[in-house]
A and B are shown apart, each in its own frame.
Chain A
Amino acid sequence: NAGVTQTPKFRILKIGQSMTLQCTQDMNHNYMYWYRQDPGMGLKLIYYSVGAGITDKGEVPNGYNVSRSTTEDFPLRLELAAPSQTSVYFCASSPRDRGLGQPQHFGDGTRLSIL
């Protein structure tokens, strides 16, 4: 059972470079999310998607972009990397909840350093 898979696991970027963090899930979940986690802090929502073709901003979207062309994939794009974007990025997914709430399932993260 693969669950949520994130690639790469680690990356070092130079200031101003761009990259795409990949996320794919094989659970047929409707909802997908991107978070960043800074040391000693809780997860901050960057972007989320409630289905293919639909994305929306979270708490900290500046400097990032997303797309959701398929149910399975939800890539996160950094266009002009800045040191403030050094963090651990987590992708998560959850099923349609039918009003009862559902836990989100997480990948193992991408550790990104910008120098």
Chain B
Amino acid sequence: GESVGLHLPTLSVQEGDNSIINCAYSNSASDYFIWYKQESGKGPQFIIDIRSNMDKRQGQRVTVLLNKTVKHLSLQIAATQPGDSAVYFCAENSGGSNYKLTFGKGTLLTVNP
């Protein structure tokens, strides 16, 4: 999950395993959530989003789960590949704002071949 400070949480997995990255969001009024992937030297890349009227949404090899009761969001990546190695971070719309986002600090995913 997320943490305060200069050192990102890290997750190391073997190629082919499933990865689960967690995020605790801060504002109970947030109703829109996004997962981004950021590779070294690149800008954040949109992966998947979910609105608060859903608790699960699936994309290609990715699934996002939302638990509003405990303000928790997770990203599951199936059959993780070396190209999935990156920093992943979640974002929430700030207190219900429809266009301003608050970003978490991220989790570094390393996929070992």
Contacts and interface: CB of A to CB of B under 8 A. Distances in A.
Interface residues of A, number: 27
A101 to B, nearest CB: 3
Interface in A42-58: 42-43, 45, 48, 50, 58
Contacts of B34: 103-104
B interface, over-half SS: loop
Contacts, number: 62
A35 B38 CA distance: 14
Interface residues of B, number: 27
Given A58-B100, A100-B98, A106-B43, 12 more contacts: A40-B8, A41-B6, A41-B105, A48-B99, A50-B99, A92-B44, A101-B32, A101-B51, A101-B99, A103-B34, A104-B46, A108-B41
Interface of A: 4, 31, 35, 39-43, 45, 48, 50, 58, 90, 92, 94, 97, 99-109
7 contacts: A48-B100, A99-B98, A100-B32, A106-B44, A107-B43, A108-B42, A108-B43
